[in-house]
């Protein structure tokens, strides 16, 4: 396993906070990642049916995509910010080379990958444009960029319940699909396939819904206005507000997910 590649011009504090959050969740991720596994299955079904020389799983987490990706290529690389996640990924697929690195500053040469795959990880990047520029740089002229990501409208129930308590959202806000597409096109990539889905999960309790986020490492809040301490009384008020969203099936948690397959523009 290679050590973390982190150039000096990134927000090191945020990146380390992110790495710690996902490392803490490494042992609980697979048990709580039902939503993530559903998205992963959908994205894998959209992959091109071709044999490839070199494939990357960007933000591979605990390696749930590696086995499927290994059928496409003998040279498989898993990249993640969390060394703990990568350790579990390597146990699942020891044939993959796992590297701890930042998606926005990848330690690879130009035109070196035929397929770059990423499921529900790029929403943690600070700049989609910077990321897409990196993807274009390391992707060869016939390569594929296949990703899923959260977009505007995700986890509205959590945000709305907290707004009723203290006027804050207490959750991350994600870019619109239009902004993601705009950044993608600006980087010099073109869309081969795009789909946006509303995916709703249901839970027995509010605590279960929150654990589905926290126990997979996704509880880092990136906007300062949404970060504040929570007292026991505030938590009880939040639970009351969130329970009001019960839809007869259970406590809902909704996501807007973009699935995009992109390639370099043909000159």
Strands (DSSP E) contained in 59-126 are 75-80, 97-101, 113-119
Taking alpha carbons only, the member of 159, 165, 154 closest to residue 240 is 165
Q: Evaluate if pTM is beyond 0.85.
A: yes
The tens digit of pLDDT for each residue in 55-74 reads: 999 999 999 999 999 999 98
Q: Which domains does the chain have, with CATH numbers?
A: 2-154+173-200+256-264 (3.40.50.150)
Phi and psi torsions of 96, nearest 5°: -90, 145
* Mean pLDDT in order along the chain per 10 residues (267 residues): 48 87 95 97 93 95 96 94 96 93 95 97 95 96 96 95 90 93 96 97 97 90 62 95 97 98 83
The end-to-end CA distance of the chain, in Å, is 38
Angle at 127 between CA 216 and CA 36, to 5 degrees: 25
**pLDDT tens digits for range 77-120:** 999 999 999 999 999 998 899 999 999 999 999 999 999 999 99
What does the chain come to in residues? Answer: 267
Q: Which helix (H) or strand (E) holds 156?
A: helix 156-166
**Following DSSP, what letter does each residue of 159-192 receive, concatenated?**
HHHHHHHHS---S-----HHHHHHHHHHTTEEEE
């Amino acid at each position: 396993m290679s050590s973390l590649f982190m150039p000096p011009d990134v927000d090191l504090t945020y990146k380390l906070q992110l790495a710690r959050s996902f490392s803490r969740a490494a042992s609980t991720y697979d048990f709580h990642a039902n939503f993530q596994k559903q998205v992963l299955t959908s994205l894998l079904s959209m992959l091109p049916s071709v044999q490839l020389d070199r494939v990357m799983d960007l933000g591979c987490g605990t390696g749930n995509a590696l086995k499927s990706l290994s059928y496409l290529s003998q040279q498989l690389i898993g990249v993640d910010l969390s060394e703990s996640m990568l350790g579990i990924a390597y146990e699942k697929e020891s044939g993959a080379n796992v590297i701890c690195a930042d998606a926005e500053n990848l330690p690879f040469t130009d035109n070196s990958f035929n397929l770059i795959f990423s499921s529900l990880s790029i929403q943690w990047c600070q700049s989609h444009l910077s990321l897409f520029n990196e993807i274009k740089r390391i992707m060869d002229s016939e390569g594929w960029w296949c990703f899923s990501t959260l977009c505007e409208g995700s986890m509205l129930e959590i945000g709305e319940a907290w707004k009723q308590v203290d006027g804050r959202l207490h959750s991350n806000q994600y870019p619109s699909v239009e902004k993601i597409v705009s950044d993608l096109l600006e980087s010099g990539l073109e869309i081969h396939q795009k789909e946006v889905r509303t995916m709703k999960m249901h839970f027995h309790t509010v605590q279960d819904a929150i654990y589905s986020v926290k126990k997979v490492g996704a509880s880092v809040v990136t906007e300062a206005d949404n970060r504040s301490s929570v007292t026991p009384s505030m938590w009880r008020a939040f639970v009351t507000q969130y329970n009001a969203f019960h839809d007869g099936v259970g406590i809902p948690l909704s996501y807007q997910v973009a699935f995009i397959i992109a390639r370099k523009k043909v000159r």
